Structure 1
Amino acid sequence: MGSSKLLSLLVTLYLLAPTSISSDVSLSPEELTQIPVKFLDFAKKPEIFYWMVNIRRKIHENPELGFQEFETSKLIRAELDQMGIPYKFPVAVTGVVGYIGTGQPPFVALRADMDALAMEESVEWEHKSKVPGKMHACGHDAHVAMLLGAAKMLQVFRHEIKGTIVLVFQPAEEGGGGAKKMLDAGALENVEAIFGLHVSSLFPVGTVASRPGPTLAAGGFFEAVINGKGGHAAIPQHTIDPIVAASNVIVSLQHLVSREADPLDSQVLTVAKFEGGGAFNIIPDSVTIGGTFRAFSKESIIQLKQRIEEVVMKQASVQRCNATVTFDDKSFYPVTVNNKNLHEHFQKVAADMLGVQNIKENRPLMGTEDFSFFAEAIPGYFYYLGMNDETKGKFETGHSPYFRVNEDALPYGAALHASLATS
């Protein structure tokens, strides 16, 4: 090999390593900023890009719900086996945790969620869901493909990594709290930081969006059963009407945000379920209501939960009814808080790769994300990967039966994963 080719190879390896390799090559700060660019160029190679596309489409055709991702997990393990990447399985039923590097500190994790949603796909295309009533309508198929893409690149340069990159393939993000189960199973043992991403149709392909501090709300679900005494609608005096009681409860619940919450402390309480009665002239014995509550601080969400229970019980009592309130602990997610130091790191890496003009500030959202469990346990960072392209038609937001993924975004996600972890 000629000396110029050897120097070029050493520089390339150096640029893709988090710390210097054993050579005399010395790089300037300007050259170091090329690390993310090199990863993006690598991810855009046709053999890498179309490999990720193929994986994403295979997963999309065979969607699986939370803790049922057996075939998805099998595909991930097969790809890791082919790459020679060791992993732990099963972790939290279907989860997979892979390792690239020395097996020694520092440990940095990258996360992808695997589960689909219980909805029928309405997009007609070659790789439409083959499973009735199930669809990847939130981009988790793309998340898995991008993390595998990052793994493929990182494994090529595994001998240059001075630490360990942990690949977290997580089940059951959509309401199952899979991240919590992964934590409980020790998936993040020794890990010092974790990064997660989500595709977004709100931002153009080639851009990213995030913010430091609270970025997604804490939230949970509640259900209340209000018991009265049924009877004929013509003689209501002989009944204890749970419908009237439930109506009073709902009105009072709305006051918890409008009258008790600080207007500068974002909170949401929505009753979205009301079930009771089956005839126009019969007052039922009981009514069931349910809904969701969300807030941007731990203190606010605890207070809101406590007041929901008090209002339901006491308002029902005023109407001579009895009530029980239950909270679904599996669906309760903490606030997703982005670590400020990791935000600075993200800003630098993303700017080096995409340019400062392509980094957007994302406003806080009242949606929830179980990445919050990871970010509550260790420093974490969650960001959005733009995928909108008006030349390819409208891209719907998540949880729509018309949701589509712009596969042109895959190299950006894979390269960001690799760059954030190695540096």
Structure 2
Amino acid sequence: MAPNNFFLWSLTFQLLLLLLVSSESSWIAGDVTQIPMKFLESAKSPEVFDWMVRIRRKIHENPELGYEEFETSKLIRSELDLIGVKYRSPVAITGVIGYIGTGEPPFVALRADMDALPIQEAVEWEHKSKIPGKMHACGHDGHVAMLLGAAKMLQEHRHDLQGTVVLIFQPAEEGLAGAKKMIEEGALKNVEAIFGLHLTNRFPFGKAASCAGSMLAGSGFFEAVITGKGGHAAIPQHTIDPVVAASSIVLSLQHLVSRETDPLDSKVVTVSKVHGGNAFNVIPDSVTIGGTIRAFTGFTQLEQRIKEVITKQATVHRCNASVNLRPNGKESLPPTVNNKDLYKQFKMVVRDLLGQEAFVEAAPVMGSEDFSYFAEAIPGHFSLLGMQDETKGYASSHSPHYRVNEDVLPYGAAIHVSMAVQYLKEKASKDSVTSSHDEL
């Protein structure tokens, strides 16, 4: 055989061999547009779906409040052990952080919260909460199940990952700043981006919603004690009435939004608690009021004005007032702001996974989420996954009638995996281009 012919034959053989190996390799390295669909198929398989349902129901039966999720944490660790995922625990008292992939950069994180609420469940079903006064009424049990489902699929293809996926199982999302504590204990070490997903009844089943920029407001709380001088209601001139002072304060606080805030910059000041007195004919010595603050911007300034209005209005009525902006240790939350590049990636993945009509452009809302701490520290993206079914009613979160539509669990797990894999692929591609340019 002539040398030139031999060279061509050899080159052709190598190319055919390469194509054969590529066709048999993991589909993680395959056509980008086919990745999400194959993950969804895997998530819907009985092996993964039934496993997630079992986990979700077990957690639902045994709800635990913030920083008390010891059994939930134990269950998560046990399931990670079964599928061979390495993890670090405890983090932030009960938190768990898993690691799948090369153990090398780039690192991308997926987050699920795991605490319950102090609510008595009103839904009658086989797996109802066994703990009186405690209930998973915000879908966190579903969030844990979906992230474990994602972990199972990622672990099966760990050798094909082009980096490391970090699984963050976070405690104490409900007002106790669990995300902040996890960050302080190194949860985001080396992590370059993070994704969070929350179940909701606000959107139809299988629809995923998000927006670029500010998606959820920052939130805070306040409590004030207005102190006067009590006495008989028939002789008010001998008293210093804290009830009248408190009434004036409540009305004046409303002016902070209606008169001091740009109408195009949404803010909320709500007084939701008023307590004072125990008798019809006795003016009490003090009245306690409390409420919440919501804002996308100017949060610190709004807090300062609340404090000024309360103390100075109290003085007008000859009373004293003490103001606590961190009642019961509740810390204020920053707004949840979605990174624009990660938003674009999410939008693309959802459309590839669930169809072009599956993505919904969400309007910003005044609710809040402590995922905001993560997104404030590094580029982050928070999204909502609809589970509303026209044939069944699903109550809103924090309701005693709240239920999770378990049919949506595979969708959440597949979104988690697809986002992580897609991020690592794009990161590897960009690094490769950068490296090539450096060499040139």
Given residue 28 of structure 2, which amino acid in structure 1 is its aligned partner?
L
Report how far residue 422 of structure 1 moved: 1.1
> Distance in 1 between the 2:99 and 2:293 partners?
37
> Distance in 1 between the 2:382 and 2:23 partners?
31
> Distance in 1 between the 2:133 and 2:250 partners?
32
> Distance in 2 between the 1:168 and 1:13 partners?
29
Given residue 405 of structure 2, which amino acid in structure 1 is its aligned partner?
N
Query: Contact 1:216–1:368 (CA<8 Å) still a contact in 2?
Result: yes
Secondary structure of 1:331's aligned partner: coil
* Equivalent position of 1:179 in the other structure: 179
> Distance in 1 between the 2:236 and 2:19 partners?
90
Secondary structure of 1:279's aligned partner: coil
Map of 1:270-419 to 2, 5 A cutoff? 270-297=270-297, 300-328=298-326, 330-391=330-391, 393-419=392-418
Secondary structure of 1:325's aligned partner: strand
Would the alpha carbon gap of residues 40 and 173 (structure 1) be closer, same or farther in structure 2, given more than 3 Å must change? same
Q: Which has the greater radius of gyration?
A: 2
Would the alpha carbon gap of residues 347 and 144 (structure 1) be closer, same or farther in structure 2, given more than 3 Å must change? same
> Distance in 1 between the 2:315 and 2:80 partners?
58
Q: TM-score, normalised by structure 1?
A: 0.93
Would the alpha carbon gap of residues 420 and 9 (structure 1) be closer, same or farther in structure 2, given more than 3 Å must change? farther
Query: Contact 2:26–2:157 (CA<8 Å) still a contact in 1?
Result: no
% identity of equivalent residues: 67
Would the alpha carbon gap of residues 93 and 277 (structure 1) be closer, same or farther in structure 2, given more than 3 Å must change? same
Would the alpha carbon gap of residues 167 and 420 (structure 1) be closer, same or farther in structure 2, given more than 3 Å must change? same
> Distance in 2 between the 1:344 and 1:47 partners?
31
Given residue 56 of structure 1, which amino acid in structure 2 is its aligned partner?
R
Query: Contact 1:210–1:362 (CA<8 Å) still a contact in 2?
Result: yes
Map of 1:42-81 to 2, 5 A cutoff? 42-81=42-81
> Distance in 1 between the 2:24 and 2:324 partners?
57
Given residue 38 of structure 1, which amino acid in structure 2 is its aligned partner?
K
Query: Contact 1:16–1:39 (CA<8 Å) still a contact in 2?
Result: no
* Equivalent position of 2:215 in the other structure: 215
Given residue 74 of structure 2, which amino acid in structure 1 is its aligned partner?
K
Would the alpha carbon gap of residues 12 and 40 (structure 1) be closer, same or farther in structure 2, given more than 3 Å must change? farther
* Equivalent position of 1:22 in the other structure: none
> Distance in 2 between the 1:120 and 1:53 partners?
22
After alignment, is 323-332 or 41-50 more displaced? 323-332
Query: Contact 1:13–1:157 (CA<8 Å) still a contact in 2?
Result: no
> Distance in 2 between the 1:312 and 1:289 partners?
10
Given residue 421 of structure 1, which amino acid in structure 2 is its aligned partner?
A
* Equivalent position of 2:27 in the other structure: 15
Report how far residue 302 of structure 1 moved: 1.2
> Distance in 2 between the 1:316 and 1:265 partners?
28
> Distance in 1 between the 2:389 and 2:253 partners?
41
Report how far residue 9 of structure 1 moved: 8.6
Would the alpha carbon gap of residues 132 and 356 (structure 1) be closer, same or farther in structure 2, given more than 3 Å must change? same
Query: Contact 1:37–1:352 (CA<8 Å) still a contact in 2?
Result: yes
> Distance in 2 between the 1:283 and 1:203 partners?
49
Secondary structure of 2:165's aligned partner: strand
Structure 2: give runs of 5+ residues left out of the alignment. Answer: 1-15, 423-440
Query: Contact 2:109–2:191 (CA<8 Å) still a contact in 1?
Result: yes
Query: Contact 1:243–1:276 (CA<8 Å) still a contact in 2?
Result: yes
Report how far residue 218 of structure 1 moved: 0.3
> Distance in 2 between the 1:421 and 1:119 partners?
34
Secondary structure of 1:150's aligned partner: helix
Query: Contact 1:224–1:326 (CA<8 Å) still a contact in 2?
Result: yes
Secondary structure of 2:188's aligned partner: coil
Report how far residue 296 of structure 1 moved: 1.1
Q: TM-score, normalised by structure 2?
A: 0.90
Report how far residue 350 of structure 1 moved: 1.0
Structure 1: give runs of 5+ residues left out of the alignment. Answer: 18-26
> Distance in 1 between the 2:138 and 2:216 partners?
16
Report how far residue 201 of structure 1 moved: 1.1
Report how far residue 331 of structure 1 moved: 3.4
Cα deviation digits, residues 237-272 of structure 1 (max 9, x gap): 111000001111111001000000000000000001
* Equivalent position of 2:117 in the other structure: 117
Aligned residues: 404
Report how far residue 62 of structure 1 moved: 0.5
Report how far residue 13 of structure 1 moved: 4.3
> Distance in 2 between the 1:140 and 1:155 partners?
22
Secondary structure of 1:188's aligned partner: coil
Cα deviation digits, residues 102-125 of structure 1 (max 9, x gap): 111000000000000101111111
Secondary structure of 2:357's aligned partner: helix
Report how far residue 7 of structure 1 moved: 7.6
Query: Contact 2:115–2:140 (CA<8 Å) still a contact in 1?
Result: yes
Query: Contact 1:142–1:405 (CA<8 Å) still a contact in 2?
Result: yes
Report how far residue 14 of structure 1 moved: 3.9
> Distance in 2 between the 1:277 and 1:420 partners?
55
* Equivalent position of 1:23 in the other structure: none
Query: Contact 2:220–2:332 (CA<8 Å) still a contact in 1?
Result: yes
Given residue 403 of structure 1, which amino acid in structure 2 is its aligned partner?
Y
> Distance in 1 between the 2:321 and 2:274 partners?
14
Alpha-carbon RMSD: 1.5
Map of 1:19-38 to 2, 5 A cutoff? 31-38=31-38
> Distance in 2 between the 1:133 and 1:43 partners?
33
Query: Contact 1:67–1:171 (CA<8 Å) still a contact in 2?
Result: yes
Map of 1:127-138 to 2, 5 A cutoff? 127-138=127-138
